[in-house]
Amino acid sequence: MKQKNVIITGITSGIGTEIALDLAKHGHMINLVARSEESGNIIKDLIFKKTKNNDIHVYKCDLSLQKDIREFVDNFKKQNNSLDILINNAAMVPKERIITSEGIETQFAVNYIAPYLLSRLLLDMLKKSSPSRIVNTSSVAHTSGNLNVDDFQRLNEKYSMRGMRAYCNSKLALTIDTVELAKELEGTGVTCNAVHPGGVNTNIMRYNIPKFLQPLMKKTKFMGTLRLSPKEGANPIIEAACSDKYDKVSGKYFDRFTQKDASKKVFDKDVVAKLSEYTKSIVA
């Protein structure tokens, strides 16, 4: 494969770091999106040390803020003429409900709004570089999501938000958008797919699993989670981004390497239409 220009979010640990390492090892140009230059440069140095690839670039961007996302895209476009692969990998499960300075619940902002906005702001470059790909790191958790069309962020709930429920909802929204964006991109040469990496042993759930259970879950297949290493979790995302097998595939959901039917909730026309309208009002 010729050198590709790649953007990866969520790179400072776990799956994102492994994706960046693998693609750098194969000689691709890697653009790391990190919340701070310091954290991004740590990964940049690690990548160079392990791969000797010096074509690694760090962009500071708080993905919970649309202002930062727009500034990042502007900076990227000033410094690049092409974009072949966008990997929307960043996700979070906070300990408590946090509202950003832009008035959006943080998990909804990072896990859903950020990939939605990034994909659209970068579409002109992706189309120019086609064939090109968008890969969204989804989750089997989307099947447990339930979107309230009157309160997508559940901001009106009087009790504190439970992290895992909000995570499931955000991944459902992301999977819906993967399917809908793929429809919009038909004929452009840009594909868009969602990939569940499997039950990966990362720190994303550290606030939602009791401390006394964490050692057990790391050693066993308890609840089917945390059985895979970050490198194993990265592999299906790397394949979706690079393999020839995905050349003509778009708008699909993969459970690791296997294409599967997404939840029926992904195709609920009423929810899809209202989510689209709501999201456009947020990012307008």
Annotation marks residue 167 as catalytic: yes
DSSP H or E segment with residue 58: strand 56-60
Cα 279 from chain centre: 17
Among 59, 112, 116, 167, the active-site one is: 167
The 10s digit of each residue's pLDDT in 175-226 is: 999 999 999 999 999 999 999 999 876 555 544 444 433 454 444 444 445 5
* 0.75 exceeded by pTM: yes
For 72-81, 155-164, 245-254, 259-268, which range has the lowest pLDDT when averaged over its residues? 155-164
d(CA 114, CA 118): 6
- For residues 168, 174, 180, 181, the Cα torsion angle rounded to the nearest 10 degrees is -170
Assigned fold of 5-198+230-283: Rossmann fold (3.40.50)
> Would you say residue 117 has pLDDT above 80?
yes
- Across 199-221, b (16+ Cβ under 10 Å) vs e yields bbbbebbeeebeeeeeeebeeee
Domain chopping of the chain, boundaries: 5-198+230-283
Residue 226, Ramachandran bin (φ over 0: left; ψ between -120 and 50: alpha; else beta): left
What's the rounded Cα separation, in Å, for the pair 35 and 90?
A: 11
What per-residue confidence (pLDDT) applies to 201?
A: 66
